[in-house]
Amino acid sequence: MSRRTSAASCAAVLLTLTLTGCVSLEDLDRYAQSVVTGVPMDSFDQVDRDAPFAGSPAEDYGEGFDTPEAASAGSFTEEQVAQAYSRTQDLMEAVYLDQDAVFGGDNSEFTVLLSGQSLKWYMSNLDNEEFDLNSRHVPFNLTPGTAEPVGDVVKVDGAMRAEAARDDRGQDYLAVHTEYTIVHPVARPGEPVSVRLVTTHHGEVSFYDVGGGALEAWPNWWRFVGPVHCVEEYTFTPAYPDEFPEGERPKGVPEDAYDRESTEEPDEECSAIGQT
């Protein structure tokens, strides 16, 4: 499996970095053997349709993005921190748990959570010709027609936490750090071919006080996703175990897709990952 990097930014405030993964070397070997011998490969359907997370670390994960107890942070009140936690939860759910967004590309539930300058930036950069600056990197969308959900459960592991921060322009803001592993079991539509997509999400939602205690949210995150094809696109195309990689080839020793600590720093390499 391998990975790709892309970015979107605005005024040094919003950054979305995407790291993706392709089919594993082990799967390629089995597939090549199947092609040569004519013997069907019986491991294309890697997800148990009755127990999609069985045998993986995600089996012990929870569901949803729980919020911690709020406490004041710097100049931000307990009420503002609670508001920021709630909005962060809504943003994460809109991005990763809304099936209309993930599988259908309908990001309206995400868009409605933005306001002011962050909404203006997001909408005005949807057609940005510079790939790294296009705001379509911000949501999490699978390429239409390439995947359908296996079951209706998405597993989540991680947490959010708030702290007062200051940006490069010297402006104070409330940072809600978000560190998560999100697992979507998916299948190729209408076929017995499936895989667990593992997304490692890092970053924060930056909240700026715009007066009267109101906060404006700026998603400021990057993600690593696999197994997907390592091609330059705004969506993610799952790499199923019966496919050869498209785009950039995987590099390096396969990494553990569930190891969140190994992906704490953005990396532009298209690197190998192990089975999910």
- 3 state SS for 56-110: CHHHHCECCCCCCCCCCECCECHHHHHHHHHHHHHHHHHHHCCHHHHCCCCCHHH
What's residue 264's pLDDT?
A: 64
Residue ranges covered by each domain of the chain: 5-273
User: At a CB cut-off of 8 Å and minimum separation 6, what does 97 contact?
Assistant: 64, 154
pLDDT digits (tens, 9 = 90+) for 63-109: 999 999 999 999 999 999 999 999 999 999 999 999 999 999 999 99
Q: What's the predicted TM-score (pTM) here?
A: 0.86
pLDDT digits (tens, 9 = 90+) for 10-31: 333 334 444 444 445 455 555 5
In the chain (276 residues long), the average pLDDT of successive 10-residue segments reads: 39 40 50 48 80 96 97 97 98 98 97 97 94 92 97 97 97 98 97 95 96 94 92 92 85 86 68 83
Cα gap 207→98, rounded to integer Å: 23
- C-alpha separations of 16 from 30, 104, 171, 249 in Å: 35, 20, 21, 22
Q: Is the dihedral of CA 222, 226, 230, 232 positive or negative?
A: negative
Cα gap 252→27, rounded to integer Å: 16
